[in-house]
């Protein structure tokens, strides 16, 4: 009997090691000069040439970076006195950035500066997403259990502010023509069907969920800081755990950001030079093992190339 149990345990271990193993690959990449040593938190490109990145240092400095040649040259400038955390694009191609103390910034492609808005919250805002009429939902918080959700009107005015018991990090809208959104944070996956007026928790085993994206109205992905990966194929009605960070025999990976270019092609990045790539909707993952050991906070990917941004002004441009 004991021999049978030992054999069963060894078999389970071998199965886990085989099924959890990832193919390692190498990508062509270059480190671009950012002309700053501040943390860069997010990056976005309007075209293959024109892009913007943001970051800074908590309550001391807000950073903006701009490029007009695909990142070969970045111009660094002061944007505000406090760190900027997130960039989101609206359907009118304007970009909004969020930060500490309810700060909100907006700019159009080609603008020289940012329009500033002050929302009715002092919480730190970390994520935003927008419907097709340019109304949106912003999320944030601090101290793991002090979260905030802001419903934003068309002209960047604050309509409704809700406080929740979970620090929130990101929000995504499956269908910009609809009224549903999902927010993720510390042990939390929340859903709204009324554009942010009310929210319902979705039961799932906890992680510090850091990022969520929907490449289509039906398919969405969530990643957590312990290495959890969740996927939905029915617009968020149900979520499957493709990987459970912190589980027995499962290595922890500090994921920070997920982005899918299509339902099948996607990337996950995080601390310690982490970059995972899938071409089959997360059925299999490839681990990029030739990147420097940087902590990456932001990710932007097109159908041929991508940018990683992170600690100490680091910017990595890669081709796949």
For the stretch 131-159, pLDDT in tens is 999 999 999 999 999 999 999 997 777 77
> For 53-57, 141-145, 236-240, 296-300, which range has the lowest pLDDT when averaged over its residues?
141-145
Provide the pLDDT for residue 21.
57
| pLDDT of 101 over the 60 cut | yes
Q: Using one digit for the tens of pLDDT, what is the confidence trace for 207-233? A: 999 999 999 999 999 999 999 999 999
Q: What's the average model confidence in pLDDT over 276-285?
A: 98
pTM for the structure as a whole: 0.92
Percentage of the chain lying above the pLDDT 90 cut: 84
Rg (CA), the chain: 20
* Domains: count for the chain: 1
| Mean pLDDT over the full length of the chain | 92
Specify if 102 maps to a domain.
Answer: yes
- Determine which helix (DSSP H) or strand (DSSP E) holds 20, and give its type and residue range: helix 2-20
pLDDT digits (tens, 9 = 90+) for 231-245: 999 999 999 999 999
Structural domain includes residue 13: no
Examine residue 120 and state whether it is found in any structural domain, yes or no: yes
Distance CA 208, CA 202 (A): 14
Q: Is residue 12 part of a domain?
A: no
20 inside domain? no
User: Which positions ≥6 away from 154 have C-beta within 8 Å?
Assistant: 133, 134, 135
Is residue 145 assigned to a domain? yes
- Full residue range of the structural domain in which residue 144 is found: 25-319
- Determine the pLDDT at residue 13: 43
- Is residue 56 a part of any domain in this protein? yes
- List, for residues 247-270, the tens digit of each pLDDT value: 876 788 999 999 999 999 999 999
Q: Is residue 254 in some structural domain? A: yes
The CATH number assigned to the domain holding 158 equals 2.130.10.10
- Give the model's pLDDT for residue 47: 94
Q: Which of 19-23, 49-53, 96-100, 119-123 has the lowest mean pLDDT?
A: 19-23
């Amino acid at each position: 009997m004991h021999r049978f149990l030992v054999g069963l345990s060894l078999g389970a271990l071998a199965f886990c090691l085989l099924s959890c193993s990832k193919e390692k690959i190498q990508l062509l990449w270059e480190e671009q000069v950012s002309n700053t040593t501040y943390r860069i938190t997010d990056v976005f490109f309007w075209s293959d040439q024109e892009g913007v990145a943001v970051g800074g240092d908590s309550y001391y400095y807000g950073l903006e970076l701009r490029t007009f040649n695909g990142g070969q040259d970045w111009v660094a400038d002061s944007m505000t006195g406090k760190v900027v955390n997130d960039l989101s694009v609206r359907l009118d191609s304007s970009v909004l950035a969020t930060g500490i103390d309810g700060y909100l910034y907006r700019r159009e492609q080609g603008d020289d500066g940012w329009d500033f808005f002050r929302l009715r919250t002092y919480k730190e805002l970390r994520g935003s997403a927008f419907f097709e009429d340019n109304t949106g939902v912003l999320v944030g918080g601090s101290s793991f259990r002090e979260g905030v959700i802001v419903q934003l009107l068309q002209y960047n005015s604050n309509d409704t502010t809700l406080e929740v018991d979970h620090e929130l990090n990101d929000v995504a809208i499956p269908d910009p023509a609809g009224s549903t959104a999902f927010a993720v944070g510390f042990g939390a996956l929340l859903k709204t069907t009324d554009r942010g007026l009310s929210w319902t928790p979705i039961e799932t085993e906890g992680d510090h969920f850091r990022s969520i994206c929907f490449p289509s109205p039906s398919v969405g992905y969530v990643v957590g800081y312990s290495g959890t990966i969740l996927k939905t194929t029915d617009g968020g009605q149900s979520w499957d755990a493709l990987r459970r960070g912190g589980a027995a025999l499962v290595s922890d990976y500090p994921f920070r950001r997920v982005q899918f270019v299509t339902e099948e092609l996607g990337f996950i990045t995080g601390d310690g030079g982490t970059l995972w790539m899938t071409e089959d909707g997360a059925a299999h993952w490839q681990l990029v093992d030739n990147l420097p050991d940087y902590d990456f906070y932001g990710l932007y990917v097109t159908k041929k190339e991508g940018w990683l941004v992170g600690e100490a002004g680091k910017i990595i441009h890669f081709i796949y």
